[in-house]
A = this chain, B = another copy of it.
């Protein structure tokens, strides 16, 4: 019976989470390739061999980490975009929520910036980011229809811009190049994207 088709007990799920958490912390702190499986296990307080009871290998642990984080972010964004009807306002809210979420879970989001060599991981990352870009593009389109954003701007490009802005500003925050409060940063980023997409 291979790892993936293993049916976990409640205790098993907990153990697995322990390992995931330990890995997330170490990856974001010292990087992916610098973190040894032995380190992860030690941090989680389990034997080295147990790692392979729960995960196929290092890479698949990483993929799982990224996937779970993406889901959480998606939920937060979804909630923010659902409220209100003004599309511009919803983009603003989603931006603010995203900045908060990504700075709060900095350990997890730092993971997105480690090594992007492996095909599988590249795939997961791309998939994960395009979801948000899609949502944003839809909202922008809506806003353009309502006359709130100039029609001559490509909605897909604008959406990528929004996505990139959030990820870049939180990146700067993560790497210690910003010192104000997260609250202020979120508002600033929301303002930045609002202006950038040409909203009036």
Residues of chain A touching chain B, judged by Cβ–Cβ distance below 8 Å, are 1, 30-34, 42, 113-117, 126, 153-154, 157-158, 160-161, 164-165, 167-169, 171-172, 175, 177-178, 180, 188, 191-193, 195-198
Contacts and interface: CB of A to CB of B under 8 A. Distances in A.
Given A158-B192, A164-B172, A195-B195, 7 more contacts: A113-B116, A114-B117, A115-B115, A115-B117, A157-B178, A165-B196, A192-B196
Contacts of A164: 164-165, 168-169, 171-172
A165 B42 CA distance: 40
Copies of this chain, count: 4
A197 B168 CA distance: 15
Contacts of A42: 1
A117 B195 CA distance: 35
B192 A31 contact: no
A175 to B, nearest CB: 7
A161 B157 contact: no
Interface residue SS majority, chain A: helix
B115 A31 contact: yes
Contact of A169 (B115, B161, B171, B197): B161
Given A126-B175, A195-B196, A196-B195, A188 B154 contact: yes
Contacts of A167: 168
Nearest to A48: B1
Contacts of A1: 42
Contact of A161 (B30, B31, B113, B192): B192
B34 A117 contact: yes
Nearest to A173: B160
Contacts of A116: 31, 113-115
Contact of A117 (B32, B154, B196): B32
